[in-house]
Chain A
């Protein structure tokens, strides 16, 4: 059951071979056994999950079930969910029970999916290892001494360990793709504007995008069908016709033109990752694809540009956390300024403070043009590189992360090294393009390697097709971590 695809689960639920309550209970029991070691979830609420499962069973009985009705999924703790503690991985929101639902949450509720719980994450989605969470680090199910990646590390670990059928993530600079790669699962960051950001706690508004994380491209397509769509409450939500992201899954790959950016295979890429990615490209050639070398000349600047723009937006987005209307307020304080400064100093962790400081600095008087404006101009150059590259190819492929999962604590004292682990994913957010990561083998110490697939704007269906065809031909995506193999 824990290795079934979403389609298979939907079929057994509709065939009444198992009820949603039974399925949900199986997952809750498995979470109770395996989660204490992994720390993938911040909040669980059996009563709420089972109540949703009972409602789903009614819908199944009434015959008005959707693809996802009754299927237990997990939500990254960045999404506000009514009645659920929503912490965003921060002490600042340790007591924040959301009074409203994010658009993504409403979409899943409307579809009748069951929410198993809120998954762990880097604090305010700032991190690449899940070590910045106030609620403790998440362990990589493939090796508990290693990080699962971040910021959607809890979701990645939960999916890899089969602690949910699928889950949501968010991606500002690689936060879906990098943990997906490090945990050996599939994850997709859609084109900016495809999934509403309403109710998703903002990190860097012009880069943040929610997306699905699961065990296969086919599962991602089903999830994205539910998550995507216009929402009038988000000014950056795009008004487009609904599309079925699964429509092209079965298409053969003959004639698919794959662009390989030479900058993604240069210095800094570990050889085990390079090998696995090259093997995947070879497999694609066998499936009928052609390969062309492309260039993204400014992609090397994406890390510096990102570490100006994202902290700048974040410094402003996080100003609302002031201890006045919700969230943490310091127990002891003097005047108003003291209340602000203590509440924020206590509520935010080191990495969040660091980014607020960077952002405040680059926006402050005298530095704006040299940093912020310059970064925005280079952002355009980076986006233009992709436009040029897509004249020669349909999708771009390369590594998701320069290395496999690193050890817990290995990079936590060196922010610059940590930031460089997002070197292949960040440019995609800056350009607003869709990007995904799928498992493509194993590197040193038998840790998973991710293949990144970057599409043109609104190219999700094509990317999912390319990923699905690869997953039909390979079995990397169905490998399970050793300690998580027990099934029922």
Chain B
């Protein structure tokens, strides 16, 4: 008997506002407990919520980026339940009328085993604004739990998908695409360790084409790996349960990364009755078409549009285009480099996808922490295209610069901190570092044809026998002459020039 896994995801993305969703307390991560819990966060008697424009703006951005409907009028509702990290005894959320509805996200599910890579669209049911809860710290305070309300009131966008995913791989692909998107449009920092992007997975199993099975919800998955493991475990558990003739009961479960298993949440055992009703403290949220247009104007070009443009206009491969749009930082870096060397898109792409990514991986950095600037990379690439250095020489320049910048710890500062008067006089002040390294390392290619001719002449006269062999038709010897000439030039001869001259002289 075959089983089909059905998955829907609810993602809680913390919005990157400065202040909380309903008050002026800071949302900065990592402060001392309760130092960012103001009167409103603490739900002192008499305090009232006032909605943060920045949170709404980010929700609109998300709606626009997923082709969703932005509700002209949406309503905040109270979700009532008691929990110590929920100071008011209710969470302000949206219920009947969410701010964003009916969006979609195209995902790319990578190849795995015999399964080839494929594209798929996941529908987004809704996205609504709500407030985060505080944190319960379970370290032992004489058998008690400590409550920190700094996080209480941090704005969240809860993004709810349709149950459109059919495997853990699809769920992970969707979550990753969403993760890229929210960072891309600048509404969420995506920091999963800090809980800025958290996934709940609704999992059920059924026979293909049959009715939807009873679902269980896995709460608070804060890494893509756990998401995958938890779904796979849960689906198998459900299949085993059903095959044993037992029934699945709707439940909320937690994933334990140590055991790799899911287990029922004790606090959620009793059925909830949240008693949603419109929050009388908050009037309906009206979003005028003009505001939507203003937000649209600030929206960056989205990953998929960029990919299409890279392939269409820059003649890059789909693979390259995908790699370059893995993050907004990556794409911005690429486009800044490209602006400086506009005719060499492929060269830029190769360097970023190859050398730069390899270095980032080696040092465990992400793109935002990249020690060298796009301008510096462009400078290197310019020295390749104007034949000052070879590709191998360029790699040496790149690594030298990378290490120097890393050591300084203050990225992007070489040029500013060490201006060279001679260079600025020459009018090409941007070339300081690259040219200095080329100079210091002696990486400059010999492109002086007189000098190359002289070397070639010497080789020809010192190897008369080989020259004769070559001229009698042993073409393969050409490489031998190149090698000798390179060696004689200490590797600095411009290869293209050397080839030309060598060919002319040998044939002549």
Q: Are A and B in contact, CB atoms below 8 Å, in the complex? A: yes
List residues of A whose CB falls within 8 A of some B CB.
79-80, 86, 88, 93, 96, 98-100, 102, 197-202, 204-206, 232-236, 312-313, 315-316, 318-322, 324-326, 336, 340, 360, 363-365, 368, 372
Given contacts A320-B43, A325-B43, A368-B277, contact A233 B48 (CB under 8 A): yes
For A236, give its contact among B45, B273, B283 (CB under 8 Å). Answer: B283
The interface residues of chain A, by DSSP majority, are classed as: loop
- Give chain B residues whose Cβ lies under 8 Å from the Cβ of A96: 45
For B42, give its contact among A325, A340, A368 (CB under 8 Å). Answer: A325
For A363, give its contact among B45, B87, B275, B282 (CB under 8 Å). Answer: B275
- Give chain A residues whose Cβ lies under 8 Å from the Cβ of B42: 325-326
Report the contact-size class of chain B (Cβ under 8 Å from the partner): 20 to 34
Cβ contact within 8 Å between B46 and A102: yes
Distance in angstroms from A447 CB to nearest chain B CB is 34
Distance in angstroms from B33 CB to nearest chain A CB is 13
Cβ contact within 8 Å between B50 and A233: yes
Cβ contact within 8 Å between A198 and B44: no
Asked if B299 lies at the interface with its beta carbon under 8 angstroms from chain A, I say: no
- Give chain B residues whose Cβ lies under 8 Å from the Cβ of A79: 46
- Give chain A residues whose Cβ lies under 8 Å from the Cβ of B49: 235
Cβ contact within 8 Å between B45 and A234: no
Cβ contact within 8 Å between B46 and A200: yes
Distance in angstroms from A482 CB to nearest chain B CB is 38
Cβ contact within 8 Å between A320 and B89: yes
Cβ contact within 8 Å between A363 and B277: yes
Given contacts A99-B39, A235-B282, contact A197 B84 (CB under 8 A): no
Cβ contact within 8 Å between B44 and A235: no
Given contacts A319-B80, A336-B84, A372-B277, contact A86 B45 (CB under 8 A): yes
Cβ contact within 8 Å between A320 and B283: no
Q: Produce 1/0 per residue, B320-342, CB < 8 A to A.
A: 00000000000000000000000
- Give chain A residues whose Cβ lies under 8 Å from the Cβ of B78: 316
The interface residues of chain B, by DSSP majority, are classed as: loop
Cβ contact within 8 Å between A312 and B277: yes
Q: For the complex, give the distance between the alpha carbons of A80 and B42 in Å.
A: 15
Distance in angstroms from A75 CB to nearest chain B CB is 13
Nearest residue (CB) in B for A101 is: B46
Q: For the complex, give the distance between the alpha carbons of A102 and B82 in Å.
A: 26
Given contacts A99-B39, A316-B80, A322-B82, contact A364 B273 (CB under 8 A): yes
List residues of B whose CB falls within 8 A of some A CB.
39, 42-51, 78, 80, 82, 84, 87-90, 147, 273, 275-277, 280-283
Cβ contact within 8 Å between B44 and A326: yes
Q: For the complex, give the distance between the alpha carbons of A340 and B89 in Å.
A: 11
Q: For the complex, give the distance between the alpha carbons of A112 and B357 in Å.
A: 67
Cβ contact within 8 Å between B45 and A206: no
Cβ contact within 8 Å between A205 and B89: no
- Give chain B residues whose Cβ lies under 8 Å from the Cβ of A232: 50
Q: For the complex, give the distance between the alpha carbons of A233 and B45 in Å.
A: 14
Distance in angstroms from B45 CB to nearest chain A CB is 4
14 A-B pairs in the complex with CB atoms less than 8 angstroms apart: A80-B44, A86-B45, A96-B45, A202-B45, A232-B50, A235-B49, A235-B281, A321-B45, A324-B147, A325-B43, A336-B84, A340-B82, A363-B275, A372-B277
Distance in angstroms from B211 CB to nearest chain A CB is 24
Q: For the complex, give the distance between the alpha carbons of A88 and B44 in Å.
A: 13
- Give chain A residues whose Cβ lies under 8 Å from the Cβ of B273: 364-365
For A205, give its contact among B80, B275, B280 (CB under 8 Å). Answer: B280
Q: For the complex, give the distance between the alpha carbons of A43 and B191 in Å.
A: 50
- Give chain A residues whose Cβ lies under 8 Å from the Cβ of B39: 99-100
For A235, give its contact among B51, B80, B89, B276 (CB under 8 Å). Answer: B51
Cβ contact within 8 Å between A319 and B281: no
Q: For the complex, give the distance between the alpha carbons of A93 and B44 in Å.
A: 11
Cβ contact within 8 Å between B277 and A316: yes
Task: Give the A-B contact count at a CB cut-off of 8 A.
Answer: 95
Cβ contact within 8 Å between B282 and A198: no
Distance in angstroms from B275 CB to nearest chain A CB is 4
Q: 15 other contacts beyond A80-B45, A326-B45, with CB at 8 A cut-off? A: A98-B45, A100-B44, A197-B48, A200-B46, A201-B46, A202-B45, A202-B46, A206-B280, A234-B50, A235-B282, A235-B283, A316-B78, A316-B80, A325-B44, A368-B275
Cβ contact within 8 Å between B48 and A234: yes
- Give chain A residues whose Cβ lies under 8 Å from the Cβ of B50: 232-235
Distance in angstroms from B336 CB to nearest chain A CB is 41
- Give chain B residues whose Cβ lies under 8 Å from the Cβ of A197: 46, 48
- Give chain B residues whose Cβ lies under 8 Å from the Cβ of A80: 44-46
Distance in angstroms from B25 CB to nearest chain A CB is 13
- Give chain B residues whose Cβ lies under 8 Å from the Cβ of A313: 280
The interface centre, meaning the residue of B42, B46, B49, B277 with most chain A CB atoms within 10 A of its CB, is: B46
7 tightest Cβ-Cβ pairs between the two chains A and B:
A319-B89, A206-B280, A363-B275, A205-B280, A199-B46, A320-B43, A201-B45
Given contacts A100-B39, A235-B282, A363-B277, contact A319 B82 (CB under 8 A): yes
Nearest residue (CB) in A for B282 is: A235
Nearest residue (CB) in A for B22 is: A235
- Give chain B residues whose Cβ lies under 8 Å from the Cβ of A364: 273, 275
Distance in angstroms from A82 CB to nearest chain B CB is 11
Cβ contact within 8 Å between B45 and A93: yes
Nearest residue (CB) in B for A90 is: B45
Cβ contact within 8 Å between B90 and A319: yes
- Give chain A residues whose Cβ lies under 8 Å from the Cβ of B43: 320, 325
- Give chain B residues whose Cβ lies under 8 Å from the Cβ of A200: 46
Cβ contact within 8 Å between A235 and B46: no
Distance in angstroms from A125 CB to nearest chain B CB is 12
- Give chain B residues whose Cβ lies under 8 Å from the Cβ of A312: 277
Q: For the complex, give the distance between the alpha carbons of A340 and B82 in Å.
A: 9
Nearest residue (CB) in A for B89 is: A319
Nearest residue (CB) in A for B46 is: A199
Distance in angstroms from A393 CB to nearest chain B CB is 29
Nearest residue (CB) in A for B42 is: A325
Given contacts A100-B39, A322-B89, A324-B147, contact A198 B82 (CB under 8 A): no
- Give chain B residues whose Cβ lies under 8 Å from the Cβ of A206: 280
Distance in angstroms from B313 CB to nearest chain A CB is 48
Given contacts A235-B281, A325-B42, A368-B277, contact A363 B48 (CB under 8 A): no
Nearest residue (CB) in B for A232 is: B50
Distance in angstroms from B94 CB to nearest chain A CB is 15
Given contacts A324-B84, A336-B84, A360-B275, contact A236 B44 (CB under 8 A): no
Distance in angstroms from A78 CB to nearest chain B CB is 8
Nearest residue (CB) in B for A88 is: B45
Distance in angstroms from B130 CB to nearest chain A CB is 16
Q: For the complex, give the distance between the alpha carbons of A102 and B44 in Å.
A: 11
- Give chain A residues whose Cβ lies under 8 Å from the Cβ of B283: 235-236
Cβ contact within 8 Å between A205 and B281: yes
Distance in angstroms from A471 CB to nearest chain B CB is 33
- Give chain A residues whose Cβ lies under 8 Å from the Cβ of B45: 80, 86, 88, 93, 96, 98, 201-202, 320-321, 326
Nearest residue (CB) in A for B76 is: A235
Cβ contact within 8 Å between A236 and B281: yes
Nearest residue (CB) in B for A237 is: B48
Distance in angstroms from A362 CB to nearest chain B CB is 9
Q: For the complex, give the distance between the alpha carbons of A263 and B39 in Å.
A: 45
Distance in angstroms from A262 CB to nearest chain B CB is 31
- Give chain B residues whose Cβ lies under 8 Å from the Cβ of A322: 82, 84, 89
Q: For the complex, give the distance between the alpha carbons of A360 and B87 in Å.
A: 18
- Give chain B residues whose Cβ lies under 8 Å from the Cβ of A320: 43, 45, 87-89
Cβ contact within 8 Å between B89 and A199: no
Distance in angstroms from A39 CB to nearest chain B CB is 23
Distance in angstroms from B49 CB to nearest chain A CB is 7
Distance in angstroms from B487 CB to nearest chain A CB is 78
Nearest residue (CB) in B for A367 is: B275
Q: For the complex, give the distance between the alpha carbons of A315 and B276 in Å.
A: 12
